[in-house]
Structure 1
Amino acid sequence: MSFFDYLISVDVRTELTGRMMQKLGVDRQLKTVPDQVAVTRRAVDRCRSCGHQDECAVWLDENEQPDDPPDYCRNRDLIARLQRAGGLR
């Protein structure tokens, strides 16, 4: 993988993380957590290490108002905590 391919991969996964947080309604809640930058960075890192990039993109396109992320999502626990903190659960 070239460095350019790596940068594209990081950008795509950053986008997937953002789309997932927004789709599940926790993007605003994420902005209020202590050390939001580090928490977001770790969420992107978990997404980056996931092997379901294409599957995730399709899931995000096909699910308009999901209650939960897909089972394979490595940010499931974070999303659940953000939903509880935001009164969404």
Structure 2
Amino acid sequence: MSRLYGDPIDVWTHDGLPVRFVWRDRLHTVRRVLDHWVVAREWWKISDSDPGERRFWRVEADPGDRVGTYELRFDTAAEGWLLIRAWD
């Protein structure tokens, strides 16, 4: 079962891939990237200052006690990360 969150998170990357993130005051270490995709905004919302991309990663990560699956999103316009979804 998955749950939707949309919580802001801090993410560390290496070569463009997420390797660690902090969610709810816990450090999660990414063990494996399961999927990656990019969604462009609608063409009428794109401007020179807003490339309009949202980059998603589905990862397996370990907060120290068990491995879970998480969906992370990076918004290029806001330059911020969100934890979108977590699976039990």
- Please confirm whether the aligned pair reaches a TM-score higher than 0.5, indicating the same fold: no
Bin for the TM-score computed over the shorter chain: under 0.3
TM-score normalized by the length of structure 2:
0.26
TM-score normalized by the length of structure 1:
0.25
Select the structure that is richer in helix: 1
Select the structure that is richer in strand: 2
